[in-house]
Amino acid sequence: MEVMERMRLPDAAFWRGRRVLLTGHTGFKGAWAARLLMHLGAEVTGYALAPEAAPNLHRLLEPWHGIESWIADLRDRRALAQAVASDPEVVLHFAAQPLVRRSVREPVATAETNIIGTLNLLDALSGLASLRAVLVVTSDKVYANGETGRPFREGDPLGGHDPYSASKAAAELMCEAWRASGLLPPGAALGTVRAGNVIGGGDFAEDRLLPDAVRAISHGGPLRLRHPDATRPWQHVLDVLGAYLLYAEALAEGRAGLPAALNIGPGEAAPPPVRGAVDAFLRALGAEIPVLVEAAAGGAPEKRHLALDAGLARRALGWRPLLDFSGAVEWTARWYRAYLAEPAQAARLTDRQIHDYLRGDPCMTHRRPAEAAAAS
């Protein structure tokens, strides 16, 4: 595993005691974010729909301590108004309908959640004197993808050929309009982040590559691939969340010249295609299952190439990913290997990976027990 250049890590002094509203805390990235904020000492209020059917990372990490949890819909303006009464200083907006193929089946509900839900949240925050930063998470799929293979930069045209992608691009445009129209409270800053193809333990969503592989292993296979040659910007969830928190810190501090939108992507090396990512994950798990290639059925148009240029985030935040692709796969495989052996280990391993990440040590979780003890 190649160790990437050391990155800046979230500042525990900034987050300790900080009042944070985190939407989507019952989802995959949201649960990791809530746990990471707990480790950093933040005072977190979560707002999300109820966790989806088991297995679900939020449920696997129970019991939660020190988090006030609101189970409600972004479309419920009254509930949002009550939740923001927690007087947050930083808002991290993760909640969304995040699945492309589901968005084709449920286009109106996707748009209502991802566009109107975001506007409902911004409106609920409009009179909040305590507010310093709002970070809205969108997607790498917000760009008008002409299949050139060139990594997208923040100034490229926005678009979207499926309801999910279009809804996230629309959310980006609405955030820009909100800023330009002076609708934020005085002293507050609003930024958007575009990351995608996040991997890590605890993702059980439908139609995602590594969760599909875990389900195939659990059921004895096979794993079915629609686009084995497609390329995606794979990156570990903790690297992505680390960038989000660094960006939120900079927004809250009012850092001069800070971009209004940032790509969060992996290192400079070309990512492997879907089939290569699957093969690497199965090797790391020590699992063998049949892998079949099937013609894609009708529905969401899926792009062959997708890559992000994250150079602006590196320059603006001093951020670098801690893990390269092989490291991200190894951390993910280690989590699932422990989970498949004993689901009750999920919380312990999640906490250990967060601990190692905050130490800036990408190798810690891969050492044998004696080596790890000697290094600590």
Containing 311, the helix (H) or strand (E) segment is: helix 311-317
- List C-alpha distances in Å: 240 to 177, 196, 235: 26, 9, 7
**Residue 221: pLDDT band by 50, 70, 90 thresholds?**
confident
Q: Report which of 12, 21, 2, 26 is spatially closest to residue 269, judged by C-alpha positions.
A: 2
Could you give the 3-state DSSP secondary structure of residue 157?
Answer: coil
Residue 20's DSSP bridge partners are: 44, 90
* 354: helix, strand or coil: helix
The number of beta carbons lying within 10 Å of the beta carbon of residue 144 is 13
Any idea of the CA torsion for 47, 50, 54, 57, to the nearest 10 degrees?
0
Query: Which residue from 323, 164, 172, 321 is spatially nearest to 259, judged by alpha carbons?
Result: 172
For the chain, give every domain's residue range.
12-296+305-364
Tens-digit pLDDT profile for residues 300-318: 667 778 899 999 999 999 9
pLDDT at 3 over 50: no
Whether the CB-CB separation of 323 and 331 falls below 8 Å is answered with yes
H/E element, 177: helix 163-180
Residues 193/138, Cβ–Cβ less than 8 Å: yes
Counting other chains too, the contacts that 47-51 makes at CB distance below 8 Å and 24 or more residues apart are: 47/21, 47/22, 47/23, 47/72, 47/74, 47/79, 47/80, 47/83, 47/95, 48/23, 48/24, 48/72, 48/95, 49/73, 49/95, 50/26, 51/26
Residue in the structure block whose two tokens are 């800023």: 179
Mean pLDDT over 137-145 rounds to 95
pLDDT at 296: 62
- Domain 12-296+305-364 sits in CATH at 3.40.50.720
Average pLDDT, the chain: 90
Q: What is the pLDDT of residues 152-199, one digit of tens each?
A: 999 999 999 999 999 999 999 999 999 999 999 999 999 999 997 999
